[in-house]
Amino acid sequence: MSSLAFLGGKPVRTRPFASQNTIGEEEKRAVMEVLDSGVLSKFVGEYGPDFYGGPRVKKIESEFAARFGVRHAIATNSATTALHVAVAAAGIGPGDEVIVSPYTMSASATSVLMQNAVPVFADVQDDIFCLDPDSVRKRITPYTRAIMVTHLFGHPADMKPIMEIAQEYNLRVLEDAAQAVGATYNGEFAGALGDVGVMSLNFHKIIHAGEGGIVLTNDDTLAERARLVRNHGECVVERMGWTDIVNTMGSNYRMTEIEAAIGAEQLRKLDRLVAHRRKLAGHLTRRLAGLDGIVKPPITNPRATHTFYAYPVRFNGLRAGVSRHTFTRALRAEGTSFNEGYVRPLYLLPLYQKRTVYGTCGCPWTCGHYKGKVSYEKGICPNAERLHERELLLADICHYPLTTEDMDDVANAFDKILRHLPELKAWETTHG
């Protein structure tokens, strides 16, 4: 019998990895203070002090703005709604194109569709998995109005060339920093580098409030537009004296006082939680670095710092002589939690293949406002497709309360499988 657990042997690890839990007494006290106050939300949909929310919402906004070095932070009830707020506030509308990553959570692109604009997918770099500036430049047309950058897995995109492209073509830069809270590029925080950035407080993010989002910007007008989109702006623009009411129709994207209380306490823990992730990732990377080129642990751009929201590994199936699928099954049998790939490249989803969003008339592609031509054919982003289909292994394993001993188990699982590759090859040959 093989020593590989996949083939009947004893696994490296038999106990599950602990789930992330960063909620402590501080958050419990903050929530009880809100409950005792009886004010769970103070937003109203008419102009006045409470149009901007209650004391806890205003407090978390002030603290996020100070922490990330921007003039404005606008709290929302999710990062998804924050992305819509950011796109609308940036002035994106029918007929416009926004360049986005295909390898990201769907909301990065659907936030563009929600403004009846057209997502145009540029490829990703195959080392840091973020938008490739060269591919971005190739996707620019006369209809391009913005670039939506996703800082994926906790690593910032290569922002210097992207910002240079944006300046050259007079484009807005929007940042989806949901997975990269606390990451930096050239000493500045991801999410605070472009015109507007979005952070997430979703329950599985680095810091969280169950749900929640934060919009960051240094632009005073953009910030006020974001607040209008968050909270029924159509009801208040007249009293506010706004005459340029484009993209000011709003919704109920408002954060509650309980979410704000939890999020503010979590923000105080950010440095410690990120340091823990970096410690675990550094330990695991050192252990995996010498494994014969079959697996390649994550790298960090010298300009950047990584938060390791997820731990990505590239797998060389040709060198290993087995498919990623078989290798992943063997890894999971040894007790690890690695998955194959991330999300399917977004342009391959039915929404883009059928170009169906609102009703049956083909908006935003064929409503009459859009004069461009965009492709969603398979093959337009070869790096993203190759990573997803053959190379990327991904796990959420660098969070608190996991330890370096847990990382050793992960590394030992990789090492064990690689030492027994002939057996795995023989099995795959037999079983196809």
Neighbours of 262 (CB within 10 A): 26
Residues 241-252: tens digit of each pLDDT: 999 999 999 999
CA-to-CA dists, residue 41 to 38, 51, 255, 257, angstroms: 9, 11, 8, 5
CA 247: distance to chain centroid? 24
**Stretch 228-253: mean pLDDT:** 95
d(CA 112, CA 119): 6
Bigger pLDDT: 292 or 23? Answer: 23
pTM of the full structure: 0.96
Please give the single-letter amino acid code of residue 219: D
d(CA 197, CA 124): 19
Where are the alpha helices (H) located in 172-255, listed in sequence order?
A: 220-230, 237-240
d(CA 152, CA 6): 31
CA 354: distance to chain centroid? 25
The model's confidence at residue 28, banded by pLDDT at 50, 70 and 90, is very high
CA-to-CA dists, residue 428 to 153, 326, 328, 431, angstroms: 31, 7, 13, 5
- Residues 425/418, Cβ–Cβ less than 8 Å: no
**What pLDDT score does 368 carry?**
86
% of the chain surpassing 70 pLDDT: 100
Instruction: Please say if the pLDDT value at position 1 is more than 60.
Output: no
**Stretch 178-204: mean pLDDT:** 98
CA 362: distance to chain centroid? 28
- Residues 123/381, Cβ–Cβ less than 8 Å: yes
**Stretch 131-156: mean pLDDT:** 98
**What pLDDT score does 39 carry?**
96
Average pLDDT over all residues of the chain: 96
* 359 phi and psi angles, rounded to 5 deg: 60, -150
Please give the single-letter amino acid code of residue 139: R
Domains of the chain, with CATH numbers? 5-22+270-342+385-431 (3.90.1150.10), 25-268 (3.40.640.10)
User: 272, exposed or middle or buried, with CB in 10 Å at 0-12, 13-18, 19+?
Assistant: exposed
Where is average pLDDT lowest: 69-78, 303-312, 358-367, 394-403?
A: 358-367
Strand partners, 73: 216
**Stretch 118-141: mean pLDDT:** 98
**Stretch 223-247: mean pLDDT:** 96
Instruction: Please say if the pLDDT value at position 355 is more than 60.
Output: yes
Take residue 373 and report the two structure tokens written for it.
Answer: 């031509």
Strands in 184-185's sheet, in edge-to-edge order, are 188-189, 184-185, 304-305
Please give the single-letter amino acid code of residue 100: V
